[in-house]
Structure 1
Amino acid sequence: IVTIIVQQNLVNICRPATNIIVKLVCADKSSKGAVQCYGFDVVNNAITSKEFLPTLVQRLSATDYLLQFNSLHLINALFRHVTDKHRDKFVNELNELNIKNTVMNLMISSPAEELTKQLVEFQRLTIQEGNIKKNIQYSSDNETHKRMLEELWTLSGLTQEGDMKWRKLGFSTENPKRDLFRIGFYGLEIINTYANKQTETYRNMIQKEAEYPDGKACPIMRAATEVIELLCDFWDINTGYIFAITLDCFVRLWHESDVNQNQNSDDLIRVSLLVRSQFRFSITKSESSGADALNQFKNEMLQTPYQIIKERHIKELELEDDLMSKVPIRYVSSIKHMIITTKFFLNFE
């Protein structure tokens, strides 16, 4: 069946084969029927072919709508039912095939309703995967975690001075776990991917900040943490391109704002709020740009003067204060706060 999916491009042949794989992956493993070859683990033995996932992802760019739909439908079924044993390998392979950019291109191409449902489902599964990783805390006993963190130091090109190492990268202390707590393994993975794929940009950014006098350097790792939390609050985005642009914006606003010499946490919060404001504005403005949305977003984030961003943010705060002075708005806000707080404690457990 897998061979048919890989080798045949005709929809009337691929579709039945695709549906069979979907049924097997999604079937109840506790069923007492005569056939027991159910679940991802069993199907995985057949789809480990080097051509299988690359073929499915490649077909997402096909001109045939049904080929696109069938391929994404199968990818989503596999993604939804992948077991912990195979999760990392499966997700990593999808990422290496650049599936997120492919899905993004499909989203802005005005897809038909049925394909749109599959695209939204893929986004939901991606968010779910991000939440799983975000809840995995950094551990120095985990070799993968330890390697990723050490790579951030190695790729920076900095040299250690005495006991000062991680603070030179922009962590608040010599124990990075304290800052990574907010973003978990998910955040570490995003920063590590950025450092590996855009090594020269990363190294230049780190080394440039190291040249600033004490208190004036933007703490890159803490800035990256703020950026990742911002992206999670909106879409749970983990595309390196959006992360890189937003981090560049953060560093730019840091240096264009009046940062205190002592570089306290208030500075970080103040700049973070400006970045959030500009992010919301840039996303809203770029939504109508179609295929040029990313370039529009980049220009708004990196070219908008600091003073304009600051003045817009002040107006937003004034409008918010005006709205909050009205009793109905205060009531709705208090209810919303109660819901969010309750949800936090439920998730915390």
Structure 2
Amino acid sequence: MLSTQVELVYENRELSCLIDLSLPVADIVRTLCLDQLGLPDEPGRYALRLASTLELITDDNIRRKVSYGERIRLVVSPQAEARDMARQLQANTTTDRKKLIFTLKEAIKEPEFAVEFCRMGGLQIIMDTVRSTTGNSLAYALNSLANLMEHDFGWDQITDDFIHMLARLVVHETLVNVSRPATAVLIKLVCADATANGPIQCYGYAKLHQAMSAESDFLPSLVGRLSASDYVLAQLSLALVNAMSTHVTSEYTDEYQRELDRLGARKLVMRLMQLNPGEEMGKHLLDFQQIILRHQHQLKYTQLGPETPGVADLLNGIWQAARITETDKRVAVEASGWTGEVKWRLLGFDTENPWKEMQRVGLLGLQHMYHYVQSDADHFAKLIIEQLNRTSQRRCPYAHASIEVTELLSDQWNIGSGYAPATAFQPLQLVMEDVHTTTLLAFFRAWNHMEATTEDFDKVSALVRSHVRYTLQESEITSLFDYERAMLETPYEVMRARQLKDLEDEDDLLTKLAVRNLRERLYRESYEFVKQQRIECLVR
């Protein structure tokens, strides 16, 4: 027996009682109802809560929560409240419907209430309420559903037509107190696929895609709300975009990503990063950044070939934009001494097999190359003709330079690994194709300043790599405008001086005692390893 003195509060009555904490809470309640208060109702309708916080007292927490002199309240149990509320809402005749729904959105957070409410058909009650109400009542009902979905039970029977209705609310509803919970519910539904940790795995992206097909303005509306004046709505909208990007299935991935890019989602997120976001928004922004990094990684390792979908169209678009005439071709061939087919060599490839040359940057590199062309087609055509009219040694090969720039930017942002520590915003990574365009312009600028030849290609690349590293890391530039100015207006002498300083710093590091000792030890170990291998080969 583990008895303690408590102060029991029931309605307007308050009395001191001795309760045995070793007994089940149901037995304690029964004793209090019958012996202390003489209540005529069934004791099962009651429960105990802490008077200070109204936290429900259960068998699991009674010994931790109840101590000597604790004030506890005898109240209607959450199960009884759930049954009463379900019956009243099902009757659909009460004049206090709005008040009941308002109460429901908080009560349903408690598992004991939620279990009983769902047993009484609570999910259907909530869906019917959402369908039949507007304004604040609709907002309360949606919040009730969102709070129910915090549990791992009770929401596995949401119908397709109801999901369509939620999508319509996101598109057409102007009240933010309705849009917020509707968006929160869709986040839960998208995440509840076969990869979910919880037991409910019957929804996922495909369910929302059906609704999006019926509501063509869904994604434009959602992306537009990333710049909403209501901060919480913008945050929830970004969370839904992240959920969709993470859970989109393979058959919809390309279509979904193209639409996001067309709507300018990455540039909107980039602006959010520059507005000193709060902690919760910051988490969603870093999640988006990581999603984009994984997408870029996937593109980089998408191998190219003549049959790869979309590749032929991109290459043909680049070729047509170059506007190379037969005269240009003849001049270039005579200056270079080329023989045979020369189509792709005219654009700066080393061979007539562009797919093979682009293997190290994959589809990502080809998209960057195409984006550069589309950003200013006239400039691109002029650039190609200018290079073809130079001697073969003085040409800066466009395709080769574009591939090199994609590679150095990939190294800068760890795209090759597909993962980077999500601790700092990298807004320029989100618009990598624009950064590539600017960096490629800087590459041509450096080539001209150095009066480089084809043998100097690696030297130009090293200079540009150094300049990119300084611009993105040391100067902490976060906007495209500032990046363009730094890359294209910094004097060549300054770029070269920084590169030389970097080389000196590397030399200083290599001359430190610890580094020298490490190098010597590794040399000895590798020497002994090779020596032992050769001895073993001779013995055999």
Code of the residue aligned with 1:194 in structure 2: it is Y
Q: Larger deviation: 324-333 or 103-112?
A: 324-333
Q: Which residue number in structure 2 is paired with residue 135 of structure 1?
A: 301
The secondary structure found in structure 2 opposite 1:60 is: helix
Higher fraction of helix: 1
Please tell me whether the aligned partners of residues 368 and 437 of structure 2 are also in contact (alpha carbons under 8 angstroms): no
Once residues 352 and 320 of structure 2 are traced to their aligned partners in structure 1, the CA distance between those partners, rounded to angstroms, is 16
Matched, 1:255 2:441: no
Once residues 178 and 143 of structure 1 are traced to their aligned partners in structure 2, the CA distance between those partners, rounded to angstroms, is 16
Structure 1 residues 172 and 287: CA distance shift in structure 2, 3 A: same
Code of the residue aligned with 1:74 in structure 2: it is L
Equivalent residues in 2 for 1:276-287 (5 A)? 276-284=465-473, 286-287=475-476
Q: Larger deviation: 140-149 or 114-123?
A: 140-149
Q: Which residue number in structure 2 is paired with residue 38 of structure 1?
A: 203
1:281-335 deviation digits (Å, cap 9, x = unpaired): 22245526x7xx432221221112222211221121111011122243468899x
Once residues 130 and 174 of structure 1 are traced to their aligned partners in structure 2, the CA distance between those partners, rounded to angstroms, is 26
Q: Which residue number in structure 1 is paired with residue 341 of structure 2?
A: 163
Match of 1:26 among 191, 194, 203: 191
The secondary structure found in structure 2 opposite 1:215 is: coil
Match of 2:514 among 328, 332, 335: 328
Higher fraction of strand: 2
Root mean square deviation of aligned Cα: 2.3
Q: Which residue number in structure 1 is paired with residue 226 of structure 2?
A: 60
Please tell me whether the aligned partners of residues 467 and 495 of structure 2 are also in contact (alpha carbons under 8 angstroms): yes
Matched, 1:217 2:395: yes
1:138-188 deviation digits (Å, cap 9, x = unpaired): 110124111111211111111364621111111111111232011001111
Please tell me whether the aligned partners of residues 286 and 297 of structure 1 are also in contact (alpha carbons under 8 angstroms): no
Once residues 145 and 278 of structure 1 are traced to their aligned partners in structure 2, the CA distance between those partners, rounded to angstroms, is 31
Once residues 242 and 195 of structure 2 are traced to their aligned partners in structure 1, the CA distance between those partners, rounded to angstroms, is 22
Structure 1 residues 317 and 285: CA distance shift in structure 2, 3 A: closer
Match of 1:189 among 367, 372, 376: 367
Q: Larger deviation: 162-171 or 246-255?
A: 162-171
Q: Larger deviation: 77-86 or 100-109?
A: 100-109
Equivalent residues in 2 for 1:1-349 (5 A)? 1-29=166-194, 37-48=202-213, 49-159=215-325, 161=329, 163-235=341-413, 236=415, 237=429, 238-260=431-453, 263-264=454-455, 267-284=456-473, 286-287=475-476, 293-329=479-515
* Unaligned runs of at least 5 residues, structure 2: 1-165, 330-339, 416-428, 521-540
Once residues 80 and 52 of structure 1 are traced to their aligned partners in structure 2, the CA distance between those partners, rounded to angstroms, is 18
Q: CA deviation at 1:76?
A: 0.2
Please tell me whether the aligned partners of residues 299 and 363 of structure 2 are also in contact (alpha carbons under 8 angstroms): yes
Structure 1 residues 3 and 317: CA distance shift in structure 2, 3 A: same
Once residues 432 and 376 of structure 2 are traced to their aligned partners in structure 1, the CA distance between those partners, rounded to angstroms, is 13
1:79-127 deviation digits (Å, cap 9, x = unpaired): 0001110000000000001111111111111111111111111110001
* TM-score of the two chains, using structure 2 as the length reference: 0.57
Code of the residue aligned with 2:217 in structure 1: it is E
1:240-293 deviation digits (Å, cap 9, x = unpaired): 321111000000101111423xx23xx2221111001111222245526x7xx4
Q: Which has the higher contact order (CA 8 A, sep 6+)?
A: 1
Structure 1 residues 326 and 159: CA distance shift in structure 2, 3 A: same
Q: CA deviation at 1:35?
A: 7.6
Q: CA deviation at 1:18?
A: 1.4
Once residues 86 and 30 of structure 1 are traced to their aligned partners in structure 2, the CA distance between those partners, rounded to angstroms, is 17
Structure 1 residues 270 and 10: CA distance shift in structure 2, 3 A: same
Q: Which residue number in structure 2 is paired with residue 341 of structure 1?
A: none
Once residues 106 and 54 of structure 1 are traced to their aligned partners in structure 2, the CA distance between those partners, rounded to angstroms, is 17
Q: Larger deviation: 162-171 or 323-332?
A: 323-332
Code of the residue aligned with 1:216 in structure 2: it is R
Q: CA deviation at 1:199?
A: 1.5
Once residues 217 and 228 of structure 2 are traced to their aligned partners in structure 1, the CA distance between those partners, rounded to angstroms, is 16
Q: What fraction of aligned residue pairs are identical, expressed as a percent? A: 36
Structure 1 residues 117 and 36: CA distance shift in structure 2, 3 A: closer
1:22-53 deviation digits (Å, cap 9, x = unpaired): 1111114389x998741212221112322111
Please tell me whether the aligned partners of residues 193 and 202 of structure 2 are also in contact (alpha carbons under 8 angstroms): no
Q: Which residue number in structure 2 is paired with residue 344 of structure 1?
A: none
Code of the residue aligned with 1:59 in structure 2: it is R
Once residues 435 and 365 of structure 2 are traced to their aligned partners in structure 1, the CA distance between those partners, rounded to angstroms, is 14
* Unaligned runs of at least 5 residues, structure 1: 335-349
Please tell me whether the aligned partners of residues 6 and 52 of structure 1 are also in contact (alpha carbons under 8 angstroms): yes
Structure whose CA Rg is larger? 2
Once residues 508 and 483 of structure 2 are traced to their aligned partners in structure 1, the CA distance between those partners, rounded to angstroms, is 29
The secondary structure found in structure 1 opposite 2:476 is: helix
Code of the residue aligned with 1:269 in structure 2: it is D
Please tell me whether the aligned partners of residues 151 and 192 of structure 1 are also in contact (alpha carbons under 8 angstroms): yes
Please tell me whether the aligned partners of residues 192 and 201 of structure 2 are also in contact (alpha carbons under 8 angstroms): no
Once residues 183 and 60 of structure 1 are traced to their aligned partners in structure 2, the CA distance between those partners, rounded to angstroms, is 31
Q: Larger deviation: 187-196 or 121-130?
A: 187-196
Please tell me whether the aligned partners of residues 169 and 179 of structure 2 are also in contact (alpha carbons under 8 angstroms): yes
Q: CA deviation at 1:2?
A: 0.4
Code of the residue aligned with 1:278 in structure 2: it is H
